[in-house]
Amino acid sequence: METSIVGVGVSISDRFRTVVEEKTARIQTLAPRALRLEIKVTHRAYRNGRLPDETVELTLLGKGPVIRAEATDPDKFAAFDMALDKLSEQLRRAKEKRIDGRNQSRGPHFEKGSGALAGIDVEPASADVLRAVATGAIPVQQDEEEEYSPVVIRTKNFDAEWMTVEEAVDRMELVGHDFFLFVDARTDHPSVVYRRKGWDYGVISLTTAAPPAQEELAS
């Protein structure tokens, strides 16, 4: 795994590089397909008497979703340790999720031993019920008014989550989706981040000054 370190407003010492090389070895164990780890150290100084701090950002690139973590502390070594712990925890959760997915078959499946259907909320009809339906003992109700449509619309409802655009991108990459719906904490607008070509991202937000008139809804 290739490692790159960039300093913004701060120089990167040989000691810091050595510590990074020693501690990032565990990343290779948790993410064997990782190709590159980008480390960005940013020094921030304040004019209001607040002590300066160091922000360490970690970006892991490889065959899969991009995983990011960052932490801030007056000591860049401490900030790096905290960011590395966050990144490792994300990798551990993703690894456990993959293992659980392999151990647990997805979707409905037929168990040959018991003849049962697992993974689906349907109970097979007994032979007596099937015989009664075939002979007409159990009437079958047919709704002639219902029209068939080849289009099936599935709906899902989720609780709204307020977060920044940066946090939404991190969440999207962590779950491995191409988009992520959220409420922008800065504007309170429903928004969605999505992946574009390369490593670019886009944001779409909904804004409205007032609800539409009833005449517009009726039309």
Segment 27-71, tens digit of pLDDT: 878 887 888 889 999 998 888 777 888 999 999 888 777 888 889
Q: What is the pLDDT of residue 50?
A: 79
Per-residue confidence (pLDDT) for residue 149, from 0 to 100: 61
- Give CB contacts under 8 A, 24+ apart, made by 187-190: 188/162, 190/160
pLDDT at 62: 82
Per-residue pLDDT at 48: 77
Record the pTM: 0.47
Query: Two tokens at 9?
Result: 């407003």
What are the residue ranges in the chain where pLDDT is below 50? none
- Do residues 87 and 61 touch, judged by C-beta distance below 8 A? no
Distance of CA 14 to the CA centre of its chain: 35
